Structure 1
Amino acid sequence: MEDTTELNTSKLGTKKYWDNFYDLERKNFKENSEDTGECWFDDNDAELNMIEFLEDNLGQYNIRSDSSIMDLGTGNGHLLFELWESESFCESKNILGVDYSEESVIFATEIAKHKDLNNKIKFQQADIFQEDWNPGKFDVVLDKGTLDAIALSGIKVGDGKSTIVEKYSGVIEKLLQVNGVFLITSCNFTQEELIKIIETDSLKMFDNVRYPSFEFGGIKGSTICTIAFVKTK
């Protein structure tokens, strides 16, 4: 059976593309401090839905107002800034955005300083697949389109037969506390495909965000999906 979780490669999966992208966004920001860059999946209100999901599930597992939070592939940090401004998680002492693009991290840090949030939200450049990378464990880990971009890289690991996507759940397990929650939004994978990619013996789906669906050729679906997983052990 064809593996539908393996996508064709694209420049959107390369570090060079994102370094150039965020270099341009930084230049735009310097000219206009109100221009804080693109908000991915804005048409679907993905950020709002992710934040509302966390707010609706306060008290579930490790979702608390003082939860430690990591955003994987943070880009311009927009999701974390919106999360902080919601005031539901402003008691957190550990909010970290991570990206492998140096330009992304520089840009997000500049925005944080402009918003006077540089003491509240930190940003770090890192290759999350490096075995010696150890930022600690978090209560909540977020992904808004990062797995989508990773899947477009086409990178093989180990014996050259495994894809980097197949290593992703191991990264999430490494980052989460027991009872920690991983909340992911994707436009490239269906809910069923994400479950196949993420679920392990210790990572289990516990809920999802409901988006408007469409029907084509007798098959129902949506253009985006957001799913929450919990680390059970």
Structure 2
Amino acid sequence: MEDTSKLNTSKLGTKQYWDDFYSLERENFKENPEDVGECWFNDSDAEMRMVDFLNDNIGSYNIKSDSSIIDLGTGNGHLLFELFENDFDGSMLGVDYSEQSVNFATEIAKNKGYNDSIKFEQADIFQNNWNPGKFDIVLDKGTLDAIALSGIKFDDGKTIVDIYSKVIEKLLDKDGVFLITSCNFTEDELTKIIQGDSLKKWDIVKYPVFEFGGVKGTTVCTVAFVKQ
């Protein structure tokens, strides 16, 4: 059976693509401070569904209003800003391998008055010496989708998809929650990629279901895992 979790390579998986993308976004922001960039998966309302899921589950595992949160592949930082606007007031860190992304998110945070609450830094999350500490909540909104398209393989022949769960395990405290949204992977595929000895699937976020050719599905999926 074909392994559908293996994706073809694309320029969307390159750092250069995202540097160019966020460089343009920054220019647009300079001209119009109300233009804070694209909100990924907006058509599916994925961002608010992620925020609502965390709000609805305060008190479960390590989900608290003051949880420490890291957003992987933060882009313009919009997900963290939305959490802050919805009364999450713990330490938040957004990381991205695109310097332009980090600069853009930092500029928005300063403009909106978030700069003391939310931090951003450039990072390659696959570097062994990268160690930002442990967090209560780890977020991914489309990041695995993008970096899985890079085609990068490591010295041992493993791909980004192969080792992604190890990155998450390193970042999470016990009873910490990993919440991931994807448009390229199904719920079953994400479970296969993420679930292991310490990370277990906990719950899913429900989206409207469509049917085409007798097959039912959703345009995106959001899955929550817990570190045991």
- Give yes or no for TM over 0.5: yes
1:96-147 CA distances to partner (integer Å, 9 max, x unpaired)?
0000000000000000000111110000100000000000000000000000
After superposition, residues 5-154 of structure 1 pair within 5 angstroms as 5-87=5-87, 89-90=88-89, 92=90, 94-154=91-151
- 1:219 maps to 215
**Distance in 2 between the 1:79 and 1:51 partners?**
8
**Distance in 2 between the 1:169 and 1:163 partners?**
12
Deviation at residue 220 of structure 1 after TM alignment: 1.4
- Answering whether residue 204 of structure 2 is matched by residue 201 of structure 1, we say no
- Answering whether residue 189 of structure 2 is matched by residue 189 of structure 1, we say no
1:192-220 CA distances to partner (integer Å, 9 max, x unpaired)?
00000000110001100010111223221
Q: Deviation above 3 Å: which 4+ runs of structure 1? A: none
- Number of aligned residue pairs: 228
**Distance in 2 between the 1:192 and 1:217 partners?**
20
Deviation at residue 185 of structure 1 after TM alignment: 0.3
Question: Alignment partner for residue 164 of structure 1, among 138, 160, 164?
Answer: 160
Gaps of 5+ in 2: none
% identical aligned pairs = 73
**Distance in 2 between the 1:149 and 1:5 partners?**
13
RMSD over equivalenced CA pairs, Å: 0.7
- Answering whether residue 146 of structure 2 is matched by residue 180 of structure 1, we say no
